Chains A and B, each alone.
Chain A
Amino acid sequence: MQEPTLLLLTALADEPRHGYALMQEVAEISNGRVRLRTGTLYGALERLQREGMVRVEREEVVDGRARKVYALADQGASALAEETARIRAVALEAERRLALRPRLKGVTA
């Protein structure tokens, strides 16, 4: 799973959000490293909808403008859970191996 996709699905994991809120969430989750612009975000949301990962929860009108509120679909939740498990497994293994380093140094010193 590409990082922007992971970030978007993560941003939708707890509650449905509209487009701009997703932009802000993605920037916050990635510590400002990934900033999705309007066209990129919209294209990504369209693709994720086609793939069944994201669905439109509802449409609302705010300040005279119609906007969609997106939610994580079941397929998206499953994909996110799988990716999270994969990342967690790698992180745990990395931590385990890093924890071995000082002891190895002690043995060789």
Chain B
Amino acid sequence: MTNEQTTETPGLLRVALRTYPRASRGGHAQELAAIYAEATAGQGRIAAAGEALDVAGHGLRLRCGLGGGGRADEIVARAVPLAVTLTATQGVAYAVALAVMLLDAPEFAHLGTANQLVLVADAGATVVWLAVLGLLLAGRTGAARILGTLGTLAQLPVVLAALPGLDLGRADAVGGALLPSLFVWLLLLAAPRDILATVEPRDRRLMGGVALFALVPYALMLLVHYPHLMMLYVSFVWFLPVGAALALARRHSTVPAALGVAAVVGVLRFGLPELADLTSARTVAFAVLALAAVTLARRLDLRNRRRNPDRTPVGS
């Protein structure tokens, strides 16, 4: 393991290795360089770029705290099909409402270009996530990732272009049309391909349950005529699985944690926009940032304790 051995590292791989946490980069570099060199020998630049991208993906996963000794990889991998199911099902319900609206052409035209753009972006995202769901069920993980990436990147400028033209409901537009897609896309990229490759029968049953749970609020809306009460229920019911997952985080059960991660889609689509309506978008953004900062601080603290176990307080 000499420095001379790393001087031959190809440029693309060198860039990819920069995604690894600095502390562990050296430990990974030698072996990755050996595999990469043989895998790309005699291959073109596109193949080499694909390999480098895959290495960078692994490095980013490590940087995000995945791929370590915990269950994070498994939780994320199991959450992906659930989150895709949830966002696709909610999207379908939304698309049905859009289709009903389209039957009344004057009402749709009355919405204005910005609102129309948001609705079209949401409908397009639904089609994409349905296709991604099909690809995941078929075991085509790579194709699912590519389609999810293209779909989300296509949706992003449409929603952003529409935002200035929206007088009201910007939080709904961002939350309803964009945040779930961004979240599921990141989840799809974060899951290790080797674990994600097969959606097992137990996962399919969970996916069916998630789809049904996503449709329950809409069914209730048709039966219960208390719009404000139902809106609160639809908006905040998604916090329950997320809270339950956090409460059970220390137990060695992957399913509740995966369901909690998937339920973040509902929080983003309904919970945060409703909170923004009840308070203000700035307050919600501040709360989300504060929560992210606390989570990050806890992660750093845990990492420091793992590195320096002697400093762990007695009894903790």
Residues of chain A having any CB pair with chain B under 8 Å: 2-5, 8, 18-20, 23, 34, 36-44, 46-47, 50, 61-68
Check B310 for interface membership: any CB of A closer than 8 A. no
Q: How far is the CA of A15 from the CA of B193 in the complex (A)?
A: 25
Q: Can you list the 9 inter-chain pairs with the closest CB atoms, starting with the nearest?
A: A39-B58, A20-B38, A67-B34, A37-B54, A19-B35, A39-B54, A4-B194, A39-B55, A44-B194
Check B214 for interface membership: any CB of A closer than 8 A. no
Tell me which of B8, B35, B194, B197 contacts A20 (CB under 8 A): B35
Q: Is the CB–CB distance between B54 and A64 below 8 Å?
A: no
Q: How far is the CA of A4 from the CA of B191 in the complex (A)?
A: 14
Residues of chain B having any CB pair with chain A under 8 Å: 1, 4-5, 8, 16, 28, 30-39, 50-51, 54-59, 61, 67, 69, 73, 139, 192-195, 197-198
Q: How far is the CA of A37 from the CA of B8 in the complex (A)?
A: 20
| B67 proximity list for chain A (CB < 8 A) | 43, 46-47
Q: How far is the CA of A68 from the CA of B28 in the complex (A)?
A: 11
Q: How far is the CA of A67 from the CA of B189 in the complex (A)?
A: 27
Closest to B69 in A: A50
Can you identify 28 A-B contacts, CB atoms within 8 angstroms?
A2-B195, A4-B194, A19-B38, A20-B34, A20-B38, A37-B54, A37-B193, A38-B54, A39-B32, A40-B57, A40-B58, A40-B192, A40-B193, A40-B194, A41-B35, A42-B35, A43-B192, A44-B194, A47-B194, A50-B69, A61-B5, A63-B37, A65-B5, A66-B5, A66-B30, A66-B34, A67-B30, A67-B34
Q: How far is the CA of A13 from the CA of B33 in the complex (A)?
A: 25
Q: A42-B28, A68-B31 are in contact. Are A37 and B39 (CB under 8 A)?
A: yes
Q: Is the CB–CB distance between A47 and B192 below 8 Å?
A: yes
Q: How far is the CA of A8 from the CA of B39 in the complex (A)?
A: 16
Q: Is the CB–CB distance between B73 and A18 below 8 Å?
A: no
| B39 proximity list for chain A (CB < 8 A) | 20, 23, 37-38
| A65 proximity list for chain B (CB < 8 A) | 5, 8, 30, 33-34, 37
Looking at the assembled complex, report how far the CB atom of A81 sits from the nearest CB atom of chain B, in whole angstroms: 20
Q: Is the CB–CB distance between A66 and B31 below 8 Å?
A: yes
Looking at the assembled complex, report how far the CB atom of B203 sits from the nearest CB atom of chain A, in whole angstroms: 11
Q: Is the CB–CB distance between B32 and A42 below 8 Å?
A: yes
Question: What 18 additional pairs, Cβ within 8 angstroms, besides A39-B59, A47-B67, A67-B34?
Answer: A2-B197, A3-B139, A3-B198, A4-B194, A4-B195, A18-B34, A23-B35, A23-B39, A36-B193, A38-B39, A39-B16, A39-B32, A39-B57, A40-B57, A47-B192, A65-B5, A66-B34, A67-B35
